Amino acid sequence: MIIFGARTKFLTASVSGQTCGHCDTGKLNLVYTIRYFHIFWIPMFPLEKRAMTQCPHCKQVLTSNELAPESRNYLNTQKSAIRTPLKYFAGLIIIGLFILFIVVATAFNKTGRYVNKPKVGDIYQIKSDTENQFTFLKIVKIEGDSLILAVHKLNHVPQADINEQRVFEHYDKDFTPLTFKMSRNNIKSMTKGSKNLVEVFRK
């Protein structure tokens, strides 16, 4: 059974300079609450902030709709300035982090699958000797346990310029005739430790 619903919590309070219109004695307290949607009591997202006044002397409580226009405007102006704490977005944050984890895990598993079962045409994104700069290697032939790799003419491509579409539409055209042989085990080792093999692109 899924437990969900809306709850209201105290947010903050302050003392105004206005006098209670009922008893004409106490200085009104401005009280703000927040109403939020929850699942299993975990706040998902805020629904609304509410404002009211409370007299510390006669205890009269008035919502913003029950106040005179001038007082209502003042109360709502103060309410809009109050920031909603991040904890009331906890559910959305958790969901976002979970989705990010799935995306990262999927990308990592894809690279692992492609390395274990290489195909001609695969393009490897390889770290260069400069931080956050990369080059590419392309499988042009598979000979038993060895891969014949073509060398790319660019050695310092920034990560911001690398995505699947750009790799196949732009960088795929710039491999040189120079090739060399590398064993599958050596390729696999490049995904461990310093992880020199960052990603595998496959059409």
**Residues sharing a CB contact under 8 Å with residue 105, sequence separation 6 or more, in sequence order:** none
Nearest-angstrom CA–CA distance, 140 and 127: 20
119 to 18, 31, 115, 165, 169: CA distances (angstroms): 76, 66, 9, 19, 19
Confidence of residue 30 (pLDDT cuts 50, 70, 90): confident
pLDDT exceeding 70 applies to what percent of the chain?
A: 98
In this structure, are residues 56 and 16 in contact, taking their beta carbons and an 8 Å threshold? no
Q: How is residue 59 written in tokens? A: 């205890």
Quick one: pLDDT at residue 136? 97
Structure tokens at 29: 């307290």
Which of 39-43, 87-91, 127-131, 190-194 comes out lowest in average pLDDT? 190-194
Amino acid letter for position 113: R
Over residues 99-139, the pLDDT tens digits come to 998 887 766 677 888 998 999 999 999 999 888 899 999 99
pLDDT at 108: 66
